[in-house]
C-alpha cells in the first residue's frame, strides 16, 4: 500500500540577510500513518561550506538545535510542551517559516510504500554530498 507523505529540507542559514544556506536534514511526515521523523547530519562537507559562508557561526548552537528535531518528531515529554501535540501539529510547527539560522524549505509531497526508505532516499538526494 502506498502512502502519501510531506517533507521539508532542513537548512542552516548562517546569515539570514544573505539568504545563503546549506542543507543539513529532512523532516518527513505521514499523518495518516502517524509517522514523523527527522534525519539530520552536520558532516564535514556541510561544516566546510558553513565555515566558508560565515566563519563566526556558532556551530555548537546549530548542533544543539539540530539534535532537538528528532526529539520533537518523536513527541512525548522529552520534546517539551510541543511533544504533546499531534503528528500533524508538530510537523506544521517544525516547518513554519522562521527568520533564524535554522530554517526549512517549502513543503513537498511524495508517495511511497516504505516511509523510512523514503526518508533515507530524500536525505541522500538532498543533503548528502
Q: How many domains does the chain have?
A: 1
pTM of the model: 0.95
Q: What is the pLDDT of residue 30?
A: 98
Is pLDDT above 90 for 113?
A: yes
CA distances from 76 to 14, 71, 82, 114 (A): 30, 8, 8, 24
Q: What would the pLDDT profile of 23-78 be if each residue is shown by its tens digit?
A: 999 999 999 999 999 999 999 999 999 999 999 999 999 999 999 999 999 999 99
Which residues constitute the domain of residue 72? 3-126
Is pLDDT above 80 for 129?
A: no
User: Of how many residues is the chain composed?
Assistant: 129
Buried-exposed string 28-59: b where 16+ CB fall within 10 A, e elsewhere: bbbbeeebbbbbbbbeeebbebbeebbeebee
Is pLDDT above 80 for 115?
A: yes
Q: What is the pLDDT of residue 99?
A: 81
Q: How far apart are CA 58 and CA 62, in angstroms?
A: 7
Q: How far apart are CA 39 and CA 127, in angstroms?
A: 10
Amino acid at each position: 500500500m502506498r502512502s502519501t507523505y510531506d517533507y521539508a529540507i532542513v537548512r542552516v542559514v548562517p546569515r539570514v540577510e544573505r539568504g545563503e544556506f546549506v542543507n543539513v536534514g529532512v523532516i518527513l511526515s505521514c499523518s495518516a500513518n502517524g509517522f514523523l521523523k527527522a534525519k539530520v547530519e552536520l558532516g564535514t562537507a556541510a561544516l566546510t561550506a558553513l565555515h566558508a559562508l560565515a566563519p563566526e557561526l556558532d556551530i555548537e548552537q546549530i548542533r544543539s538545535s539540530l539534535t532537538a528535531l528528532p526529539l520533537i518528531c518523536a513527541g512525548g515529554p522529552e520534546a517539551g510542551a510541543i511533544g504533546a501535540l499531534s503528528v500533524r501539529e508538530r510537523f506544521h510547527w517544525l516547518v513554519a517559516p522562521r527568520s533564524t539560522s535554522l530554517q526549512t524549505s517549502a513543503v513537498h509531497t511524495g508517495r511511497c510504500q516504505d516511509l523510512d526508505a523514503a526518508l533515507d532516499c530524500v536525505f541522500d538526494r538532498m543533503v548528502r554530498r
